[in-house]
Structure 1
């Protein structure tokens, strides 16, 4: 019996090749899009879950409120890990992780800079799942000069993985480090990346016993069955007790200040953490929600198209249904027949969707910034998911046509009375409204995202990032100042400055500052040289910048507007005395200038207090302002000067405008994905509208024929057939516009600096939706209207 149903269904589909092709392509398009989004969402949700103990691993965070400024750190004080482990029996183990900056390894005569080096406690391998290929994970980092490599790093430096016992020299200190282990590469789905693991025991800062210096990423492993919420509730009292040894907590808290610890589950770090000093760039749970909804909507749109296109064929299949019923076919058998067709279409569409997704996966990875691969683990859950999709989509897509077509009364069908036409199809009207509401929502969302990105790129940031070249790792030179002097002599160079701090850097150094009027304020503390302000194109509101001609400038300080206002100086900050740090680390400066506020972090955040001092102890890069049209020539000249001073060092550089754009790579990728998904949603909605237009036109063939014979013009007939659809699109506009405004307003709230949604976005979207609908409907309407009226009257007769 089933074989007969399938054979009949295949013949029916083959007989109507055009209908079958459109249906399969529409479903395949929706399923392929849905499948790619599902791969993206699964990848985002899988971060850090490669760890077998991930459900028991938590990161210890620090929240600091000082001087009215609240800062959330993803790090904790050096002794916090051991203190927690020793004082709370529910904690099984703890580990500290800190990225190592400006590490260069020797490989032959070359010095290679590596940015995936981390310092960590020996307990790292007992908490995180990093399988060791060679070596003993329990003792691998017990020696301060030990180093563990990942598999790819071992191959890079030694062309093999059996390297335990060999040495690797860090050029920064010329100390050979003994390789004590090789682990498998850290999975891509990790919130931190590493190619080299150094023992944290080699760092003097790791032995710091104060609790008010935050410097290490700290992770704890809870014992099975331990409650993280109960533990977190105990932390405030314990932290206060620890801090009492190094500061007057009563006085500190009386000023409304606090230092608090809290916990973030390991599995939530990637998508739900956006703190200072994260170990790497994180994702955003909002995008997971958004794209999950888009995947569902696009799949629903594809199913709606199947329904609309199937009912559009109703007139052509009405006599078939009538004859089948007269010959004794039951409604149940007819429903099974139509569902069989639906399953066959869905199966074919799914196969095509899988092939399309597999083919487009590399392009999708590039667009989304992912490294998704088809693995055995992925196939294990994907195959059952696809089987479920075939069943669900087949039933959802085919159920309405099956009920609709099988319900035809044979007497009415054979007399030609098969439907009340378009106006009686309330469900079909609802589906059109639903489809276009989604499309309009996506169009508005895409335009808002791109307007915000354009606003960010064109906003006056308070400094000039154009043609600023950043030459990196200058602290590898014996005399960075000499490189600066030589580069400044090159043609096209306007100025140059040595510093570790620049506005597009994601890592800054906070420090406490106080004045006679303000007991304490947390501010960014930057060490710069005398050419910094001029090179960066920053503007002074009052006073002056640093100058090598004034020896007293070593104790001078330039502050930004926000710092001046929060310290209570307002317009009278010059020559005021400020103190940075506390205790033996405290230093006193006098204010020599106030710089206009500039954005030195993401535009998601408000500008915070910042102070600059003239100190070259932290020189990590040379920033060069150039004014030349021949950048390749200038880069060759700069590289030549570098090679003269450091022949074995790599010449690494970037441009500040590119670094600035990199801060918003996520938004740019999401904007591109929005465009693609919006275009697909519109295409699918148009297919559905095309099917419904065909259905409506087929129901009015006789009316159109009579009107043409009586003298009706083409324009009037097309307008008559189109107006009902335009009404539905207008309803969709009325529904989607306020909803899109609410959602995108909430999205924009994530930016401290944002552009208001412009009125023309809604007008342009509405016009675009109407034009798209008109073109889609008119194509089918014109085709129907241009047909010979005699043919339509013969068919109806």
Structure 2
């Protein structure tokens, strides 16, 4: 049987090479898309799977339900909760705090800026990251210990065999010598926890307010439990935990007030869930939308179905050409079952050839896809080959079953007695048109959604941020909480050639400020509004050029413009300080117009704030996040977490970075350094959508290509069948133009129906996806018009050659051909 199948395939390839090429290419493209997207989806779902027992490693998340703001979830929690967890929950096996910061690491003349996690000695009891060298039980027990990643060790020493070596670390001006006690192995799969270094939490870090205040956001807390039952018990009692430990006096800054459960809560998230879950968490810009990943897999399956429909359509269209072969073989004694198995076998072999093509295409496309999506995709043959074998088998069966049923059902007497080959009648024509409609409906809907994704990504990239982003560089390094050094840095930057202005601020693009507090208008009966605070010093107005809607900006000649720093703010009761609001704060506080807010008084505890100006919202956040009501202070006091910003002119970005480094090193020679543009800092907000749009564009193009391959093959066979009809029409006076119009109308009618059917689902999917953004585009009818016009044009060009050849045929030749 196998030899018969192979012999028939070779014969068909010689007689109708176009059919075989279209069939194999269509199947190869469909299976390649399915395979690549399956590998991408598998990668996204495998985050943290390489960490042993990751499902029972839980992160404690904080929930803030503050007045005037939408509920927010934050992975950064107050570390004051840490010592109470073991006491209240015996189900917990181990706990650790996890706070990241930039450390400057030195070994000899080599220096590396490392994303360093400050953790508890119990870290490896909670998160069992694999070690290349060292002992996990003792790696973090000594206060001067430091664990390096393999890449960091390689960068510092050129080798990973460095246990016991001494390096110098610098963090916020604290320079100490530390001993390398272990080396982290390179992760075997994608992980969300990938520090460059691990070190015990320094004593000076524990003296900071975020370790003693419930209202602070310090870092992550991870716990390990036995199983899901223990997780459920802890989750059910977290509200009681907050009430027991976070309650306090209304004026107590270290607590969450009298009823903390009303505006503060805690929840647990498994380490296996964080990659998807963090999309709804503040600062979770590297997270992935689970629904989009599922859509990718759906697209892979649908691309494969398109190829199947394509193969079925081509097989049923040419079934009549093999009718006499079937009739003769049945006359010679072949049973229907034998013929059925033969035709299904031919379909499976053709599919296997397409599978080989798909594997080759996948090898070529996978590195490109990895670069496009920013992932580390690779060809895992242990998964790929069995998966591809199953796909080939199922696809071959799907492609061959219906055509085999049709072909094996032909009756020899009817076929041999007929002067024309059987065409299947209207039911077969309807089936072919239906398959074309399904193919193009999916392709058109997908193309519309792809266009919306690309437009949203472009919108996010060019969004009006409320300030002038061009010509601004922002520091990424930490600086000491020292007013003298901060003022010295401003002066050093200000006198750098090319610098127009400079300032310090706690809030910069892509920085989550932790300074939040409640305010209420004086004389108002409304409740408190929870606002975001920013403290600035220097020439902020010239550096960022915020758009003032009413009032004035800060002026050093006004004494009340200079307020105390964060820590001293509430130590000055009865004082009045001048502030500037953003537009969102204006509306949340109940002011109708910007002018009406100027001069208004606000209360925050025992402190009075006077509004001197209102600015347009400055968007330092992702388009997915809601804009917070914001109050800006001016203060010459030392800031806790300042970043330097400069506006420059007359020099390139690279030249300015070099000049700014020299100025930075004058004041902070050992602190981590880096200056980035606004676009670079905010690229994480839109790069995912941008990459996704590129990936969708490629997949959409392939989907249209597969549909057009089917349409082209179908048009070639239909044109062959309608040659006699065209000859009669032209003999009766029809012109070539009329025949051309008639043929194009018949070929494009299913495509037009597909475009109509695709409109509603495409609109629903696009609207659902856009609802996840607070700053978003509107779905326009132009999106539909553009895609439909391009699709119809491509479909017309696809069948134009066949149609022209048929329309130009001489009547005598056409009638003789039949």
TM-score by length of structure 1 reads: 0.91
Distance 1:104 1:550, change over 3 A: farther
Distance 1:600 1:257, change over 3 A: farther
Query: Residue 573 of structure 2 aligns with which residue?
Result: none
Query: Residue 194 of structure 1 aligns with which residue?
Result: 195
The correspondence for 2:368, drawn from 353, 363, 366, is 363
Q: Which moved more, 1:646-655 or 1:151-160?
A: 646-655
Q: Distance in 2 between matches of 1:142 and 1:587?
A: 45
Asked if the contact 1:165/1:178 (under 8 Å) is kept, the reply is yes
Q: How does 1:537-552 map to 2 (within 5 A)?
A: 537-552=545-560
Superposed displacement of residue 409, structure 1: 2.5
Superposed displacement of residue 47, structure 1: 0.6
Q: Which moved more, 1:544-553 or 1:317-326?
A: 544-553
3-state SS of paired residue (1:273): helix
Query: Residue 325 of structure 1 aligns with which residue?
Result: 330
Query: Residue 344 of structure 1 aligns with which residue?
Result: 349
Distance 1:370 1:240, change over 3 A: same
3-state SS of paired residue (2:192): coil
Q: How does 1:39-118 map to 2 (within 5 A)?
A: 39-69=39-69, 70-100=71-101, 102-109=102-109, 111-114=111-114, 116-118=115-117
The correspondence for 2:241, drawn from 238, 243, 247, is 238
Q: Distance in 2 between matches of 1:722 and 1:709?
A: 20
3-state SS of paired residue (1:523): strand
Distance 1:350 1:669, change over 3 A: same
Matched residue pairs, number?
Answer: 786
Distance 1:313 1:569, change over 3 A: closer
Q: Distance in 2 between matches of 1:136 and 1:662?
A: 36
3-state SS of paired residue (1:94): strand
Q: Distance in 2 between matches of 1:130 and 1:254?
A: 39
Q: Which moved more, 1:230-239 or 1:737-746?
A: 230-239
Q: Which moved more, 1:359-368 or 1:39-48?
A: 359-368
Q: Which moved more, 1:343-352 or 1:221-230?
A: 221-230
Q: Distance in 2 between matches of 1:234 and 1:647?
A: 49
Q: How does 1:49-448 map to 2 (within 5 A)?
A: 49-69=49-69, 70-100=71-101, 102-109=102-109, 111-114=111-114, 116-171=115-170, 172-186=173-187, 189-200=190-201, 202=203, 203-205=205-207, 208-224=211-227, 226-245=229-248, 257-276=262-281, 278=283, 281-374=286-379, 378-414=380-416, 415=418, 416-420=420-424, 424-448=428-452
Q: Which moved more, 1:639-648 or 1:682-691?
A: 639-648
The correspondence for 1:717, drawn from 704, 729, 739, is 739
Superposed displacement of residue 775, structure 1: 1.8
Q: Once the two structures are superposed, what CA deviation does each residue of 1:364-421 show, in whole Å capped at 9, x if it has no partner?
A: 11111111123xxx32222211111111011011222212222222233232240255
Distance 1:648 1:509, change over 3 A: closer
Q: Distance in 2 between matches of 1:63 and 1:490?
A: 44
Query: Residue 606 of structure 1 aligns with which residue?
Result: 626
Unaligned runs of 5+ in 1: none
3-state SS of paired residue (2:279): coil
Superposed displacement of residue 15, structure 1: 4.4
Superposed displacement of residue 222, structure 1: 1.6
Query: Residue 540 of structure 2 aligns with which residue?
Result: 532
3-state SS of paired residue (2:555): coil
Query: Residue 460 of structure 2 aligns with which residue?
Result: 456
Q: Which moved more, 1:555-564 or 1:205-214?
A: 205-214
Q: Distance in 2 between matches of 1:194 and 1:610?
A: 32
Asked if the contact 1:497/1:529 (under 8 Å) is kept, the reply is yes
Q: Which moved more, 1:72-81 or 1:473-482?
A: 473-482
3-state SS of paired residue (2:479): helix
Q: How does 1:572-583 map to 2 (within 5 A)?
A: 572-574=596-598
Q: Once the two structures are superposed, what CA deviation does each residue of 1:169-212 show, in whole Å capped at 9, x if it has no partner?
A: 11231111222222213456112321100112533158935544
Q: Once the two structures are superposed, what CA deviation does each residue of 1:467-504 show, in whole Å capped at 9, x if it has no partner?
A: 212244273798454454454455654322223421x2
Matched, 1:763 2:785: yes
Distance 1:424 1:384, change over 3 A: closer
Q: Distance in 2 between matches of 1:356 and 1:176?
A: 52
Asked if the contact 2:468/2:545 (under 8 Å) is kept, the reply is yes
Q: Once the two structures are superposed, what CA deviation does each residue of 1:276-324 show, in whole Å capped at 9, x if it has no partner?
A: 5557621111211221111111110011111122223224322222222
The correspondence for 2:616, drawn from 589, 592, 596, is 596
Q: How does 1:742-781 map to 2 (within 5 A)?
A: 742-781=764-803
Superposed displacement of residue 660, structure 1: 2.8
TM-score by length of structure 2 reads: 0.89
3-state SS of paired residue (2:79): coil
Asked if the contact 1:191/1:282 (under 8 Å) is kept, the reply is no
Superposed displacement of residue 645, structure 1: 6.1
Asked if the contact 2:27/2:351 (under 8 Å) is kept, the reply is yes
Asked if the contact 1:307/1:397 (under 8 Å) is kept, the reply is yes
Q: Distance in 2 between matches of 1:157 and 1:579?
A: 52
Asked if the contact 1:96/1:216 (under 8 Å) is kept, the reply is yes
Asked if the contact 1:421/1:700 (under 8 Å) is kept, the reply is no
Q: Distance in 2 between matches of 1:141 and 1:461?
A: 44
Q: Which moved more, 1:653-662 or 1:358-367?
A: 653-662
Asked if the contact 1:347/1:390 (under 8 Å) is kept, the reply is yes
Q: Which moved more, 1:323-332 or 1:430-439?
A: 323-332
Asked if the contact 1:23/1:306 (under 8 Å) is kept, the reply is yes
Q: Once the two structures are superposed, what CA deviation does each residue of 1:432-490 show, in whole Å capped at 9, x if it has no partner?
A: 11011011101211222222233333432211111212244273798454454454455
Q: Distance in 2 between matches of 1:716 and 1:794?
A: 21
3-state SS of paired residue (1:133): strand
Distance 1:247 1:187, change over 3 A: farther
Query: Residue 470 of structure 1 aligns with which residue?
Result: 474
Distance 1:723 1:574, change over 3 A: closer
3-state SS of paired residue (1:418): coil
The correspondence for 1:661, drawn from 659, 672, 683, is 683
Q: Distance in 2 between matches of 1:86 and 1:650?
A: 38
Superposed displacement of residue 666, structure 1: 0.6
3-state SS of paired residue (1:664): helix
Q: Distance in 2 between matches of 1:46 and 1:266?
A: 11
Compute the RMSD of aligned alpha carbons.
Answer: 2.9
Q: Which moved more, 1:767-776 or 1:731-740?
A: 767-776
Query: Residue 522 of structure 1 aligns with which residue?
Result: 530
Distance 1:251 1:210, change over 3 A: closer
Asked if the contact 1:61/1:264 (under 8 Å) is kept, the reply is yes
Asked if the contact 1:496/1:624 (under 8 Å) is kept, the reply is yes
Query: Residue 735 of structure 1 aligns with which residue?
Result: 757
Query: Residue 18 of structure 1 aligns with which residue?
Result: 18
Asked if the contact 1:110/1:648 (under 8 Å) is kept, the reply is no
Query: Residue 574 of structure 2 aligns with which residue?
Result: none
Q: Once the two structures are superposed, what CA deviation does each residue of 1:504-546 show, in whole Å capped at 9, x if it has no partner?
A: 2242224213345566433222221131132111022333322
